[in-house]
């Protein structure tokens, strides 16, 4: 004789927690869900942005320095918002108009160094945006989940006190609520921490290539040569002092 399978709804799952929880429990869940969703949004958008910048760095290393002069190299850099093209254009403009501004009292190499330093700082600042949110989420989400845990245990103690006995039906719901809150807090924090460290490491790679490009560009503009290891690669067409 075949036996029928009976489906029993889980009274202690997330659905039950939302249906039976008070405004504090629901508020904690909503906050953790928002933090998790925004963390994943940051991780994917920043990863895509870093991927684009690394592609620009590869293009600059391949095409810009192979040009006959820096202006020709500038035209070989493509893509909207190309940070290397922007740095090169800003440095060239600063050098060409150095003698016609108040900055003519500043030596050319110092002026170009300042211009490129400001451009590098802006890039670094842009790369670092939104990363503090990931760090904050990674450090606070477990404590928010812990708050939900404490609140659930408090409900369990209240249920025991009202019932006058520690029966399983009075304790299981609030304790399950507490454990779910802990799990959600950790599930939000762990990806945020991993994503933060991953993105931070890639930011360092990008900034290293930006600083190298800035240093080489300054040498080309000021002296017309680019130092590579023990030798020197001369690129004609540098901007005259």
3-state secondary structure string across the chain: CCCCCCCCCCCCCHHHHHHHCCHHHHHHHHHHHHHHHHHHHHHHHHHHHHHHHHHHHHHHHHHHCCCCCHHHHHHCCCCCCCHHHHHHHHHHHHHHCHHHCHHHHCCHHHHHHHHHHHHHHHHHHHHHCCHHHHHHHHHHHHHHHHHHHHHHHHHHHHHHHHHCCCCHHHHHHHHHHHHHHHHHHHHHHHHHHHHHHHHHHHHHHHHHHHHHHHHHHHHHHHHCEEEECCEEEECCCCCCC
CB 159 within 8 A of CB 171: yes
**In this predicted structure, what is the pLDDT of residue 95?**
78
**In this predicted structure, what is the pLDDT of residue 135?**
94
Give me the residue label for tokens 């399950």: 176
Length of the chain: 241
**In this predicted structure, what is the pLDDT of residue 138?**
93
CB 98 within 8 A of CB 111: yes
Phi, psi of 79 (to 5 degrees): 95, 135
Apex 86 CA angle, 80 and 88, nearest 5: 135
Q: How many CB atoms lie within 10 A of CB 233?
A: 12
Taking the C-alpha atoms of residue 31 and residue 27, their distance in angstroms, rounded to an integer, is: 6
**In this predicted structure, what is the pLDDT of residue 108?**
74
Spans in the chain with pLDDT lower than 70: 1-21, 97-106, 159, 163-174, 176-177, 224-241
**In this predicted structure, what is the pLDDT of residue 232?**
38
CB 95 within 8 A of CB 112: yes
Residues linked to residue 225 through DSSP beta bridges, in sequence order: 234
Q: What is the dihedral of CA 202, 206, 207, 210, to 10 degrees?
A: 180
CB 134 within 8 A of CB 43: yes
Give me the residue label for tokens 């190309």: 82
């Amino acid at each position: 004789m075949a036996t029928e399978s009976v489906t029993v709804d889980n009274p202690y799952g997330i659905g039950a927690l939302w249906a039976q929880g008070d405004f504090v429990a629901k508020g904690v869940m909503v906050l953790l869900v928002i933090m998790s969703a925004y963390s994943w949004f940051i991780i994917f958008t920043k990863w895509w942005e870093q991927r684009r910048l690394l592609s620009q760095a590869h293009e600059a290393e391949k095409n810009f320095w192979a040009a006959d002069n820096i202006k020709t190299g500038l035209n070989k850099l493509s893509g909207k918002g190309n940070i290397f093209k922007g740095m090169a254009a800003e440095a060239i403009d600063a050098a060409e108009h150095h003698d016609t501004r108040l900055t003519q009292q500043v030596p050319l190499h110092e002026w170009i160094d300042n211009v490129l330093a400001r451009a590098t700082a802006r890039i670094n600042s842009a790369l670092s945006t939104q990363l503090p949110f990931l760090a904050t989420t990674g450090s606070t989400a477990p404590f928010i989940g812990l708050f939900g845990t404490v609140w659930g245990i408090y409900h369990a103690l209240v249920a025991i006190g009202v019932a006058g006995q520690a029966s399983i039906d009075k304790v299981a719901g609030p304790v399950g609520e507490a454990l779910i809150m802990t799990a959600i807090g950790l599930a939000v924090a762990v990806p945020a921490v991993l994503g933060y460290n991953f993105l931070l490491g890639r930011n360092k790679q990008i900034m290293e290539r930006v600083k190298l490009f800035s240093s080489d560009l300054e040498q080309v503009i000021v002296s017309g040569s680019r130092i590579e290891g023990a030798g020197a690669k001369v690129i004609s067409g540098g901007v005259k002092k």
